[in-house]
Amino acid sequence: MSQKLLEVEDLRVTFPTHQGDVEVVKGISFDLGRERLAIVGESGSGKSMTGRAILKLIRSPGRVTAKKFVFDGIDLNKQSERQMRKLRGARISMVMQDPKFSLNPVLSIEDQIAEALRTHQTLTRKELDEKVLHMLEQVRINDPARVAKLYPHEVSGGMGQRIMIAMMLIPEPDLLIADEPTSALDVSVQAQVLDLIDNLIREKGMGLILISHDLNLVANYADRVLVMNAGEIVEQRDAADLQNATHPYTQGLLNAMPRLDETRDELPTLDRTQWAAT
């Protein structure tokens, strides 16, 4: 691991409710270099909240607190909303689950990607066009000149997600947060999109936080894995070593998945009472 890109200590996300405050992320700590880190967990584990908290995108009345919250030498605790807006997109980007909801339906692909660039840099129209086409090529879109003129409803889910990635990567951020980037896609397209993210991350030497519910998937596309349950990190492991997970929750998750050559008559299930989820 080279120098630290992101340091998080005792990160908490709290929402007030009628019955008092509820912590959805309960004081987690982790570091990230220019590497690929995965956060895995089931719904309600707090994994997505963690991703959003890094960008300080938790909506009020939710609160984010951390003892240490440093991104590339910048103390995120001290950043105002305005300063955060400069960081978002330019230095830290986020790819969301469903391209259908993240692309603006009334802008062409070209304008959409250009927009992402224009908010952070001033460029001439020509430079802009060139960059956009180059980026579309990088996300392996055949015939980028044609696709650039299309509107979001005219492209498939897989292509939409690639366009999202192009949009997020064109300002050349240092950290990409991908929240379930492929769960809305078909299996065959999933691999393509993940391979693409993987290649671009390596080429540009960026950091990646991959948030997913799928242990198998992250095992292939991350260096390190954090397993979260009920707002806490229950296990941290190298991805290659995931098979040897020791925490019963991780093991439970691994075993609960059916296999292609399934011979078991019954799938083992988690005993939830052990980690009384909220």
Partner 1 sequence: MSAIELNNLNIAYSSVQVVHGASLTVEEGESFALVGESGSGKSTILKAICGLNDEWTGEIKLYGEKVDPRKRADISRISQMVFQDPYGSLHPRKTVDTTLSEPLTIHGIKDNGDRVVEMLNAVGLDQRYRFRFPHQMSGGQRQRVAIARALMLKPKLMLLDEPTSALDVSVQAEILNLLKQLRKDQNLTFLLVTHDLPVVSFLCDRLAVMKKGKIVEIATRDQLAKGTFNEPYSQELYQASKHEHVA
Binding site residues, partner 1, CB under 8 A: 42-43, 157, 186-191, 213-217, 219-220, 242-243, 252-254, 256-262, 264-270, 272
Tell me how far, at minimum, the Cβ of 241 lies from partner 1, in Å.
10
Residue 77 vs 220, nearer CB to partner 1 = 220
Burial 62-76, CB ≥16 within 10 A → b, else e: bebebeebbbbeeeb
Largest CA distance in the chain: 64
Q: Shortest approach of partner 1 to residue 254 CB, angstroms?
A: 7
CB 88, min distance to partner 1, A:
29
Nearer to partner 1 by Cβ, of 57 and 277: the residue is: 277
Query: Smallest distance, Å, CB 226 to partner 1?
Result: 16
Q: Which is nearer to partner 1, 31 or 198 (CB)?
A: 198
Q: How many Cα neighbours within 13 Å face the side chain of 139?
A: 25
Nearest to 230 by CA among 277, 168, 166, 164: 277
Nearer Cβ to partner 1 (60/243)? 243
Least distance from C-beta 174 to partner 1, angstroms? Answer: 28
C-beta of 69 vs 249, nearer to partner 1: 249
Q: What is the DSSP string of 196-247?
A: HHHHHHHHHT-EEEEEES-HHHHHHH-SEEEEEETTEEEEEEEGGGGGG--S
The encoded tokens of residue 165 equal 């990635």
